[in-house]
Amino acid sequence: MNRSSPKIGYARTSTVDQNLDAQIEALTAAGCGMVRQEQRSGATLEGRPELKTILDFIHPGETLVVTRIDRLARSMQDLQAIVARLKEKGAHLAATEQPVDTSTATGKAFFDMLGVFAEFETNLRRERQAEGIKAAKRKGVYRGRPPKIDMAAIRAKLGTGLSPTEIAREMGVSRGTVYKAKAEMLKSNKIIEGRTA
């Protein structure tokens, strides 16, 4: 990795339950003066404001650094779109745990090869999952997705005066889900009050 060019780190996990500390530490050790982070799915480029900010404002000669390329995207198409955007801006991509550095010919070749293998592995996983579901359906043990969270039940419990923490623990949901239900409840109450005023 080119040590002299300015580096911007990008750390990502798919969920808030996962810890970003190891990625941030590795990116800082790699010389990143700034590390942007987010806890969003990598299945799509949509809904990832921190990555969008980097791609919008990265300068020529700068390098976007990740620990592994799967922190950026889960498909070859998205990875290629990111690299094309960086190239357009005169910037580069590098990874701390893989020999990926698009400022070098070897790094570019390795990046392309990794992307092909990542996509191949994803397709294999999908096929195995589909086969597993078919087999489970044949045996009559496939249950499908778990039931959706009952927001009405959460609102009912909020109405009894239980705290969000108590409700989350009792119903096996996150406190964020309870707060979302509370916000919806307050919003609908305001609408009703507005109509009766």
- Among 47, 40, 50, 70, residue whose Cα is nearest residue 9: 50
Residue 127 lies in a domain: no
Is the pLDDT at 191 greater than 60? The verdict is no
Burial class (CB within 10 angstroms; exposed 0-12, middle 13-18, buried 19+) of 102: buried
Share of the chain above pLDDT 90, in %: 32
152 or 112, greater pLDDT: 152
Is the pLDDT at 157 greater than 90? The verdict is no
What's residue 31's pLDDT?
Answer: 95
Average pLDDT over residues 2-31: 89
Asked if 85 and 157 sit in the same domain, the reply is: no
What's residue 36's pLDDT?
Answer: 96
Mean pLDDT of the chain: 84
Is the pLDDT at 97 greater than 60? The verdict is yes
Q: pTM of whole model > 0.75? A: no
Banded model confidence at residue 192, pLDDT cuts 50, 70, 90: low
Sheet of 34-39, strands arranged across: 34-39, 7-13, 63-66, 92-95
Is the pLDDT at 195 greater than 70? The verdict is no
Asked if 14 and 94 sit in the same domain, the reply is: yes
Banded model confidence at residue 144, pLDDT cuts 50, 70, 90: low
Contact (CB, 8 A) for 36 and 8: yes
Rounded Cα–Cα distance for residues 10 and 33 (Å): 11
What's residue 49's pLDDT?
Answer: 94
Residue 119 lies in a domain: no
Asked if 100 and 155 sit in the same domain, the reply is: no
**Catalytic site positions:** 14
* Long-range pairs for 54-57: beta carbons < 8 A, 24 or more residues apart: 54/8, 54/10, 55/82, 55/85, 55/86, 55/89
**Which residue range(s) make up the domain with 22?**
7-104
Is the pLDDT at 161 greater than 90? The verdict is no
How far apart are the two ends of the chain, measured CA to CA in Å?
65
What's residue 44's pLDDT?
Answer: 86
Contact (CB, 8 A) for 28 and 35: yes
Least confident of 32-46, 132-146, 149-163: 132-146
Query: For the chain, how many structural domains are there in total?
Result: 2
User: Residue holding tokens 């808030």?
Assistant: 16
Domain boundary among 45, 69, 104: 104
Average pLDDT over residues 119-134: 82
Domain boundary among 71, 88, 104: 104
